[in-house]
Amino acid sequence: MNKGILQYLIFFILSSGVVNDIKAQPAAEKVKAEIREVLNIWNETAKKADVDRCLSLFDDGDDVILAGSDIGEICRGKAQIRKWLSAIFAHANFSWDMKTIDIDYNGKTAWVFVEGAMIVQWDNGQTVKTPYRFTGIIVRKNKVWKWRLFNGSIPRGEKS
């Protein structure tokens, strides 16, 4: 094979990969921005103690899971999640100060890791801020990202 042709083929192959990476970057940032928006809506909705809106952010089906940070806070399916959210929102609302947000995705499935603090505002006026982390799996269906798994935790031994 002619050396010039070989160099051209190598250049073409390498430049094709670079062009594809450059095209993929805006798409990746768009997906991450969509998921960040879901996190922001989740945050604002919980702060308003809006059970129906919070529930709308979960995928349909009995296999969705919300695992809170306390004993007994494991809900499977939207009916159990609704019951738990209704009980919590009857006495408090909560939001998160999301200091670190890591997002990764593959096609229509995304993984999130959020670290920061949870702010609980009780109906008696007391506000409690606690270090908090949550992870989740979010799926895209009908052009909308929805929770499949939410898992919250209070890091042991950490103070706000």
Q: Rounded to a whole number, what is the largest CA-CA distance in the chain? A: 82
Q: Is the CB of residue 74 less than 8 Å from the CB of residue 85?
A: no
Cα gap 45→52, rounded to integer Å: 9
pLDDT at residue 6 greater than cutoff 90: no
Q: What is the pLDDT of residue 61?
A: 80
Q: For residue 91, what are its two tokens?
A: 């006495």
Q: For residue 15, what are its two tokens?
A: 């430049």
Hey, what domains does the chain have and what are their CATH numbers?
A: 3-153 (3.10.450.50)
**35 Cβ contact partners less than 8 Å away, ≥ 6 residues apart:** 103, 105, 110, 112, 138, 145
pTM: 0.79
Q: For residue 96, what are its two tokens?
A: 């998160």
Q: Is the CB of residue 114 less than 8 Å from the CB of residue 92?
A: no
Q: What is the pLDDT of residue 70?
A: 87
User: pLDDT tens, 13-31?
Assistant: 555 554 454 444 678 899 9
Q: Which helix (H) or strand (E) holds 106?
A: strand 92-106
